[in-house]
Structure 1
Amino acid sequence: MEKTDLLLAAALFVSALISHTEGIMGGREAAPHSRPYMASIQMPEDETMKHECGGFVIADQWVMTAVHCMPTGANGRKVVLGVHSLSEPEETKQTFDILELHNHPDFNSDNFDNDIALIKLDRPINATEAVRAVEYLRAGGTNPTIDQEVETAGWGSLDDLGSRPDKLMEVVVDVFSSGRCGRGDYFGRKFTSNMMCAHRLCPTPCDQSYRKQDSCDGDSGGPLLFNGVAVGITSNGGKKCGQIKKPGIYTIISHYTEWIDSTMALQPTTGPN
């Protein structure tokens, strides 16, 4: 076999490996409706709705997500709850308009600091086995520390090529050193005290069959959970998914208890912000 043929065969083999990754980048398909708090934020596209970002239910009429998912407003987006598959008809599905969108006023688009937003749905959820709020960590609670396992889920890209799953994926990752994430060869000054980073990479010695595990494009706004409690919001999961010096960055929810409480206590309005 000539050299060009060998190179082509190798490229096809690598492409096949990438296209068959199992999940949210190295993850697995979640058990249907095992994460009833998960939300799919969808954008109108032609005659259909397309998944754009994640979110999670925190109260009977409130969903938490990331500011960078909707920095300029709702613009016709809808929130879909109670689904496992984005395409298959499911009786558990509940679809909502966005009545109010509250992006954190101190969000910094340069480094995604304060990347937390609250969506008020147009009506309360119908709580079922497939749709239910998740507890989130409040001020004074204990956040996970270095090397502790946390988990996240979403319908985001399976790889850096942008392959999207139809069904909800999940992955277990490890909390990474904040000090290291703030180093110049990682995120530098863009990494702030309002962020934590996490991913899971190949251990030493590394088996070539091991897949990098991380959040990726489209997972933004979804939850990072520690012992079943939401402690973070996927913030920059769509950047350099699975790369050694670019772990996933998550907004630390417990830093925003006062803002969350005051926002959810606001009087109802007549339309979306």
Structure 2
Amino acid sequence: MGGIALASPLVASAGDAPIKPQIIGGMPAPTGAYPFMASIQLIRGETYEHFCGGVLVSDRHVLSAAHCYGNPDPSGMRIVLNRTNLSDELSGQVRGIAKGTIHPLYGTSLDHGYDLVILELDEPVEGIEPVELAPRGVLVDNVQVRTLGWGMTVDGEYDSGTEYLQMIDLPHVNAVTCKAIHSQFEWHPVTVNVKTDMCAGGEPGRSACHGDSGGPLLVKLWGSDKFLLAGLTSRGRSLTCSDAPGIFTSVMSDELWNTMY
């Protein structure tokens, strides 16, 4: 994330080089609370390093941001699921990537958007419940949504990433308002595609940021602890991520899915 590219129940408020989008102003997530959260990792030397998030939506498919998947050869990448603490090598499940399908309109629009890749795992996961997609048109302004990530924890400090999954609740901002906010910046304005994007945040010191790209934006089901997937972390204001709402790919967008295949 950053100015460089960073089912149908009722919902309620939720209590290329690798881009390193993290949660600024958040708090540690409870261990095992988000088993569908994926860490997409790239091999460097003899070790794998986290560089983007993703979300398990079936036993064999992870959604992430297209800008996280610039290399058509996934042999040097892996996906780690159900691991809250990335340094805990004994927890979670690790899978390779058999294939990545980038949205065909990604990179073709002046308004950006379409920042979506579908990653097919080399083997199905076992015992991890995928997250369901939120229904279309359920979010209103200022409804609280939740995002997760291992990215930057301090605005302006690229090395402030964490091994421990962070979470934060942010107000939803409609895409039209979000576009107007971002267009006011003279330095490095970021475009918002109102057909495929959604936004959240805009509060100083509270944001997704570099290292969080591809991770989920979640809404909570009324009367339960179940979260649904509304969006994927995409991009925002360059290094100081929290001075404007973050931009997310809306998985509730008809335009996104109608043009995918």
Higher relative contact order (CA 8 A, sep 6+): 2
Task: Report whether the alignment pairs 1:213 with 2:196.
Answer: no
Report the alpha carbon displacement of residue 145 of structure 1 after superposing the two structures with TM.
1.5
Rounded to whole Å, the distance in 2 between the matches of 1:89 and 1:35 is 17
TM-score by length of 2: 0.79
Q: Which has the larger radius of gyration?
A: 1
1:122 maps to 2:122? yes
TM-superposed CA distance for 1:188, in Å, is: 6.2
Matches within 5 A, 1:26-175: 26-73=25-72, 74=74, 76-90=76-90, 92-108=91-107, 112-127=112-127, 131-138=128-135, 141-159=136-154, 160-162=156-158, 163-175=160-172
Q: Which deviates more from structure 2 when the two are superposed, residues 81-90 or residues 107-116?
A: 107-116
TM-fit CA distance, 1:253: 0.6
Consecutive unaligned residues in structure 2, runs of 5 or more: 1-21, 221-226
Residue in structure 2 matched with residue 25 of structure 1 by the alignment: 24
Q: Does 1:191 align with 2:192?
A: yes
The equivalent of 2:231 in structure 1 is: 232
Identity %: 29
> Structure 1: how far apart are the matches of 2:209 and 2:237?
4
Output one character per residue of 1:10-68: Cα deviation in whole Å (capped at 9) or x when no partner: xxxxxxxxxxxxx7100000000100100000000111000010001000100000000
Give the CA deviation at 1:108. Answer: 1.7
Moved over 4 A (4+): 186-189
Residues in 2 aligned to 1:254 and 1:33: alpha-carbon distance in whole angstroms: 26
- Cα separation, partners in 2 of 1:241 and 1:232, compared to 1, 3 Å: farther
Residue 196 of structure 1: how far off its partner (Å): 1.2
Unaligned runs of 5+ in 1: 1-22, 203-211, 263-273
Normalization by structure 1: what TM-score?
0.75
- CA change 1:42–1:172 in 2 (3 A) is same
TM-superposition CA deviations, 1:141-199 (whole Å, max 9, x none): 33312111000001111122121111100000001243332222158682111111111
Shift of 1:93: 1.9
Equivalent pair of 1:219/1:238 in contact (CA under 8 Å): no
More helix by share: 1
